[in-house]
């Protein structure tokens, strides 16, 4: 009888997606016993690791209570509990907390090593226990974090990890992107809890913790800064760079000192047309013996601005005028919400962006897993990276002129969250060659202390451009003046000192039956009924954009690559099953726009 009851227990039930929303084709390919099995951090890779994705126990409890005595069911990690792919599909309020629990073992070959427990991202506040001992906590829903759990592991048998998560969505004072308690229009379903890969990695006591690479094409150098753990200043770092299997540069320095690599005269530059990446090997030596090594990659490229012969300030790539053109990419999935069902799904949108002939993508108020940025590096897509918004906007949005109103007033906690998480995002993404522009604010959403935040961002990373507020309240700071206009392009402000760009336009809608999040509730800035009509309208806007490029625009962002929830203004449906335009015609006009500044 007990055995029969156990078989009927929800903890042993077969996983299946929750809810009745549309799904991508990759949802059918998802193996719950092998979820997102790819190595999660390809820019700093080790050969040994253990994936903890899969079935975990979960419980939802009132905020402030202790760990539950029993759990309510199983959840498929790393899909947020609100998502269909989690197998749960429940909402967690700001008055509740979400608990996770699972057991794991340590491979026998790891017993003489330090064990690190990694979380790709958990939204928003996470407290973590291993074997009933708290190992740490983290706030911030978009960046990875880790804990050294070696001292609390059992010498024999299984270990238990417990995670408690609190996420107040739009009722809190944290960066949240487009998540709201009551989704609708341009605001979407909340995402609570673990939404990226959880994994273990064995390292030696002395090990490499972080890499920071900075290319300089003018000096033909690459600077590599290596952060290490449990080391001293007499240890040594060695860096080797490869073109395929051929070594092209080598350098070494004492621990804590940057390694400067001199590149050959014929060094290859990275661009969307030729996204060349150098393989990199970083080794840590102690007393002359190798104690750690990671594999990485880097690239030579430069993002800057420059006045052309007509006095227009242009964006430049590798010291050449270069028109950057790409879609708004919000990174949402009907079945996984923040999390793509598979790695193939994760890269699909990026491949389609390239197929459409774009050279850039704007990652809109979200941060993606590390593998997404590696794919941008490999495919050749310049990334404009937004800071996910939070807080309340200024009293007035004055997008059509330079701002003279009152700034947003954030609480001390809200401002501290913003500054902490923006720094963590830049630290996380710094070494990815494809990142070209930082965007601290979108429109006026939570916009505050814009000149100060912009100056800090530029000082913290002088190797990239800073777009202070895409379509927001405009101040004379940073590298870019960014206008939004729907549906068609319009150049209604111009800055002769900074590059003037069209940060959003388009939004051409078409609702397709059987591919809608809400069958009876959808919208676009303008709406048509056939792919031919949408394609014609898109081309009309692009031809107008070409005229405005001559008058001053240096980049543009089309809204958007896919439908998202109630928005039906994507080039693809939300389930990615239908391309809603004539792809060949779109590619032809996009390439004309991308090459509009070519000499």
Q: What percent of the chain has pLDDT over 90?
A: 92
Q: Write out the H or E segment, with its range, that includes residue 164.
A: strand 159-166
Model pLDDT, residue 13: 60
Query: What is the pLDDT confidence band of residue 599, given thresholds at 50, 70 and 90?
Result: low
> Cis peptide before 141, with omega less than 30 degrees from 0?
no
- Return the closest-CA partner of residue 336 out of 10, 19, 11: 19
- Return the closest-CA partner of residue 510 out of 492, 526, 489, 493: 526
Q: Does pLDDT of 353 surpass 90? A: yes
| CB neighbours of residue 289 within 10 Å | 7
Strand partners, 483: 502
Model pLDDT, residue 407: 81
Secondary structure class of 184 (helix, strand, coil): strand
Sorted by where each begins, the domain ranges of the chain are 2-38+46-202, 207-298, 312-389+403-594
Model pLDDT, residue 11: 42
Q: Are 430 and 464 in contact (CB under 8 A)?
A: no
Burial of 14 (0-12, 13-18, 19+ CB in 10 A): exposed
Give, in words, the CATH class of 207-298: mainly beta
Secondary structure class of 263 (helix, strand, coil): coil
Residue 460 DSSP class:
H
**Integer Cα distance of 56 and 58 in angstroms:** 6
**Integer Cα distance of 183 and 181 in angstroms:** 6
Q: Does pLDDT of 341 surpass 90? A: yes
Burial of 387 (0-12, 13-18, 19+ CB in 10 A): buried
Q: Looking at the structure, give the CATH architecture of the domain made up of residues 312-389+403-594.
A: Alpha-Beta Barrel (3.20)
pTM equals: 0.96
Q: What are phi and psi of 434, to 5 degrees?
A: -70, -20
Q: Does pLDDT of 23 surpass 60? A: yes
pLDDT top residue among 48 and 11: 48
**Integer Cα distance of 345 and 366 in angstroms:** 17
What separation in angstroms does the CA of 498 have from each of 305, 315, 553?
A: 8, 9, 11
- Return the closest-CA partner of residue 58 out of 81, 34, 79, 31: 81
Secondary structure class of 229 (helix, strand, coil): strand
Which CATH number is associated with domain 2-38+46-202? 2.60.120.260
**Integer Cα distance of 475 and 309 in angstroms:** 26
| CB neighbours of residue 287 within 10 Å | 8
> Cis peptide before 65, with omega less than 30 degrees from 0?
no
Tokens standing for 140?
């911030």
Burial of 64 (0-12, 13-18, 19+ CB in 10 A): exposed
Q: Write out the H or E segment, with its range, that includes residue 352.
A: helix 343-355
Least confident of 32-36, 66-70, 375-379: 66-70
Q: Are 126 and 143 in contact (CB under 8 A)?
A: no
Q: Are 320 and 217 in contact (CB under 8 A)?
A: no
């Amino acid at each position: 009888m007990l055995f029969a009851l156990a078989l009927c227990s929800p903890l042993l039930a077969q996983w299946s997606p929750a809810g009745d929303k549309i799904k991508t084709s990759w949802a059918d390919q998802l193996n719950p016993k092998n979820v997102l099995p790819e190595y999660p951090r390809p820019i700093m890779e080790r050969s040994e690791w253990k994936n903890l994705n899969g079935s975990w126990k979960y419980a939802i409890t009132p905020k402030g209570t202790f760990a539950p005595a029993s759990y309510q069911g199983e959840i498929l990690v790393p899909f947020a509990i609100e998502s269909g792919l989690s197998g749960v599909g429940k909402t967690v309020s700001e008055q509740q907390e979400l608990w996770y629990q699972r057991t794991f073992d340590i491979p026998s070959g790891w017993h003489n090593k330090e064990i690190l427990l990694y979380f790709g991202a958990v939204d928003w506040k996470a407290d973590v226990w291993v074997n009933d001992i708290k190992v740490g906590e983290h706030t911030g829903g978009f960046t990875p974090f880790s804990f050294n759990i070696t001292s609390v592991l059992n010498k024999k048998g299984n270990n238990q990890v417990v995670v408690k998560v609190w996420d107040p969505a739009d009722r809190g004072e944290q960066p949240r992107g487009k998540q709201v308690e009551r989704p609708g229009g341009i605001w979407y379903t909340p995402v609570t809890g673990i939404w990226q890969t959880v994994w273990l990695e064995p390292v030696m006591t002395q090990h490499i913790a972080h890499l920071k690479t900075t290319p300089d094409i003018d000096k033909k150098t690459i600077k590599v800064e290596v952060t290490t753990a449990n080391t001293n200043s007499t240890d040594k770092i060695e860096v080797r760079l490869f073109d395929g299997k051929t070594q092209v540069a080598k350098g070494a320095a004492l621990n804590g000192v940057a390694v400067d690599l001199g590149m050959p005269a014929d060094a290859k530059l990275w661009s969307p047309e030729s996204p060349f990446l150098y393989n990199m090997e970083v080794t840590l030596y102690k007393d002359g013996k190798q104690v750690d090594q990671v594999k990485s990659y880097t690239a030579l490229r430069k993002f800057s601005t420059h006045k052309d012969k007509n006095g227009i300030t242009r964006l430049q790539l590798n010291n050449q005028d270069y028109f950057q053109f790409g879609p708004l990419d919000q990174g949402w999935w009907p079945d996984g919400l923040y999390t793509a069902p598979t790695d193939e799904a994760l890269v699909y949108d990026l491949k389609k962006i390239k197929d459409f002939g774009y050279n850039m993508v704007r990652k809109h108020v979200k941060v993606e897993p590390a593998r997404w940025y590696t794919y941008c590096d490999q495919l050749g897509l310049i990334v404009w990276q937004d800071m996910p918004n939070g807080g309340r906007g200024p009293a007035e949005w004055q997008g059509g002129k330079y701002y003279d109103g009152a700034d947003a007033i954030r609480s001390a906690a809200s401002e501290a969250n913003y500054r902490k998480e923006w720094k963590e995002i830049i630290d996380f993404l710094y070494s990815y060659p494809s990142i070209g522009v930082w965007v601290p604010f979108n429109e006026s959403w939570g916009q505050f202390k814009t000149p100060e935040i912009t100056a800090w961002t530029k000082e913290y990373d002088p190797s990239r451009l800073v777009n202070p507020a895409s379509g927001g309240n405009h101040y004379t700071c940073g590298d870019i003046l960014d206008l939004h206009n729907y549906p068609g392009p319009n150049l209604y402000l111009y800055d002769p000192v900074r590059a003037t760009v069209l940060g959003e336009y388009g939004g051409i809608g078409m609702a397709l039956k059987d591919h809608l999040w809400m069958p009876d509730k959808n919208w676009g800035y303008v709406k048509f009924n056939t792919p031919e009509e949408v394609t014609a309208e898109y081309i009309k806007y692009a031809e107008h954009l070409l005229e405005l490029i001559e008058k001053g625009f240096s980049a543009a962002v089309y809204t958007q690559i896919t439908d998202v929830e109630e928005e039906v203004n994507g080039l693809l449906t939300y389930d990615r099953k239908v391309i809603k335009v004539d792809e060949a015609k779109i590619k032809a006009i996009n390439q004309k726009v991308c090459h509009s500044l070519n000499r």
